[in-house]
Amino acid sequence: MQEKAVREIAGLLRKKPRVAVLTGAGISAESGIPTFRGKDGLWKQFRAEDLATPEAFERDPALVWEWYDWRRGIIAGREPNAGHLILARWEDELPGFVLITQNVDGLHRRAGSKNILELHGNIWQVRCLEESTVSDNFESPFPKIPPRCPACGGLLRPNVVWFGEALPRLILEQAQAACMTAELVFVIGTSAYVQPAASLPLVAAEAGAKIVEINPDYTPLSTYADHSFHRKAGEVLVEIDTALRDAD
Ligand code: OAD
């Protein structure tokens, strides 16, 4: 199925083009981590207004932390899948490779990716509200909720981007620059509803990049894609990677 497209993309990769990849929750779905939208998505069971906004945290930091602590527990028990691992390998093999993710789960890093533009932050980092310091934190579960800064006792928050908050400026600029100059862009496992991430592939398409989308569902980006694979990310990436290696 779609063997010709797989061969064509492997052929492009063999020329070592500048590649940018935008991932969303769907790439971690095969690791058993819930996505946000879709039938079993988190936003079907929970209200973002209660759990993922600065106002929600101000109102009830313990409630917000309980939800993040629960999600951290799920993620801690899961492993990167074939899709994450292949993207980590491509970073080593393709000089101009840039990985942009909306995911906060840290699975790309655990798979071996090194230069990751995390547009929405990282669930394994905490930020002190008093000192604005950001640090890694892998406690799961937290012994006490809400957790407090060991240095100053200030309230900690997850170092993620909530609804109504701006994305980290430098990271967004780096992602935009990568999309402006990329020759080949993979859009993997995102519903492409949340801005500004969703418009990055359009920036790339306008600048002349070829767009490959991998997502079982159709998205607003599907019509812009040169190749759309409406299947699971891990499966398609394995096929492309195998075709790439077969021809070596
Ligand atoms: P969504 O949950 O909106 O979309 C996940 C996408 O993954 C859907 O389009 C699914 O069809 C697709 N999908 C499911 N299983 C897949 C698989 N095995 N392979 C490939 N694709 C699969 O997640 P995002 O687009 O990442 O933001 O959501 C963007 C942002 O909205 C998140 O970063 C989060 C959320 O609210 C914040 O929390 C700020």
Name the pLDDT band for 40 (thresholds 50, 70, 90): confident
Query: Does the annotation mark 120 as catalytic?
Result: yes
b or e along 145-181 (b: 16 or more beta carbons within 10 Å of the residue's beta carbon)? ebbbbeeeeebbbbbbbbeeeebbeebbebbbebbee
Cβ–ligand 1 distance for 233 under 6 Å, the answer yes
What is the structure's pLDDT at 38? Answer: 83
User: In terms of domains, do 191 and 238 share one?
Assistant: yes
Give me ligand 1 centre to Cα 238, in Å. Answer: 20
Any atom of ligand 1 within 6 Å of the Cβ of 83: no
Distance 100 CA to ligand 1 centre (A): 14
Mean confidence (pLDDT) of the chain: 97
Provide mean pLDDT across the span 122-133: 97
Dist. CA 88 → ligand 1 center (Å): 20
- Report which protein residue has its CA nearest ligand 1's atom 9: 191
Question: Which residue out of 31, 37, 108 has the highest number of ligand 1 atoms within 8 Å of its CB and is therefore the one to mutate?
Answer: 37
Which pLDDT value is given to residue 247? 58
Do 129 and 233 fall into the same domain?
Answer: no
Check pLDDT > 60 for residue 248: no
- Does one domain contain both 57 and 179? no
Q: Are residues 63 and 96 in the same domain?
A: no
User: Looking at 160, 190, 216, which one is the last position of a domain?
Assistant: 160
Q: Which domain holds residue 110?
A: 1-32+80-120+167-248
Atom of ligand 1 nearest to the CA of 48: 36
Structural domain count, the chain = 2
210/184 Cα distance (integer angstroms): 5
Same domain assignment for residues 58 and 145? yes
pLDDT band at 39 (very low <50, low <70, confident <90, very high): confident
CATH of the domain at 135: 3.30.1600.10
Q: Which of 84, 108, 120, 227 is catalytic?
A: 120
The 98-101 sheet, strands edge to edge: 116-118, 98-101, 19-23, 184-188, 210-214, 227-229
What integer is the mean pLDDT of 72-78? 98
Q: Are residues 243 and 185 in the same domain?
A: yes
Gyration radius (Cα) of the chain, Å? 18
Per cent of the chain over pLDDT 70 is 99
pLDDT-derived band at 2 (thresholds 50, 70, 90) equals confident
36 CA distance to ligand 1 centroid (A)? 6
Give the mean pLDDT of 22-43.
Answer: 95
What average pLDDT score do residues 182-198 get? 97
